[in-house]
Amino acid sequence: MKINIHSHSHYSDGANLFEMAKEHQKEGFSAFVVTDHVCPLSVGNAYSLSIQSYEKFQQQTSELENISKELNFPCIQGIELALYEEEILIFGKKATRKIFEFIDNMDLNEKQKYGQTLQYKQKIITHLLNIVKQNRNDTATVLCHPNLVRTPQWELTQIYEIIDGYEFQNGNRYRFTDETNIDKKLRWDRAIPDELKLKNKFYNSDAHNLSSVTKSEANFHSLPITSIDDLISYIKTPQQNNQLLLGHQNIISR
């Protein structure tokens, strides 16, 4: 069975939620996992193209429940949280709720201040990462499209501490080079950092539209993934998932 754990919908900057779920089902994925953007900024394009409140997130939750019933297909909800130079996929109801509560309780002046000073950004990012850290037992996190080069060490140190895995591939581009993709053209010529080597690798499409759903290799799993708890368990399981257990299959086809 295969799964893609990074995609978007019209709740942020992607295609229609129902159509994205239907496309994942048509392409043979075992579930539809949507991770729309959440950004603690109050101004700018990134904030306008994100889920801006817990109320809106709950609206998506209800819509996903209805879609799952209509298609008879598991629909699982996470978020892509914007940090400073990096973003992480977060799966976990309690941590997600607390993140939204924190953002919802920031007043406009605080949010604008966040966008203006590095010192304040560090304070807010550290608080958000601490929320994840405090809820590690029932939360799974994946560093998506790792940048690393521009990211300050104060942020990387905290990220490495709380993530379960990282995207080795995002869309049709590999983020690193190793023995599995040395012959591939669409890759960054850089080694996997030591801090990530013991983390799980994930191959995600980061799909924003129907045609990009299969623009990556697939993550494979042997146990059913029908709920967020199943997905959390899969992400957190030491690397018996993906390529080391079943082999990975190149499905870049469009």
- The residue among 46 and 94 whose pLDDT is bigger is 94
Angstrom distance (rounded) from CA 140 to CA 236:
6
Q: Residues with Cβ < 8 Å from 223, sequence gap 6 or more? A: 230, 233, 234
On average, the pLDDT of the chain sits at: 90
Q: Are 30 and 231 in contact (CB under 8 A)?
A: no
Q: pLDDT-based confidence at 174, cuts 50/70/90?
A: very high
Counting residues of the chain whose pLDDT is more than 90, the rounded percentage is 77
Q: pLDDT-based confidence at 250, cuts 50/70/90?
A: very low
Q: pLDDT-based confidence at 241, cuts 50/70/90?
A: very low
What 3-state class would DSSP assign to 42?
coil
Place of tokens 């193209």: 49
- The residue among 107 and 176 whose pLDDT is bigger is 176
Q: Is the pLDDT of residue 254 over 50?
A: no
Q: Two tokens at 252?
A: 């870049």
User: Which amino acid, residue 12?
Assistant: S
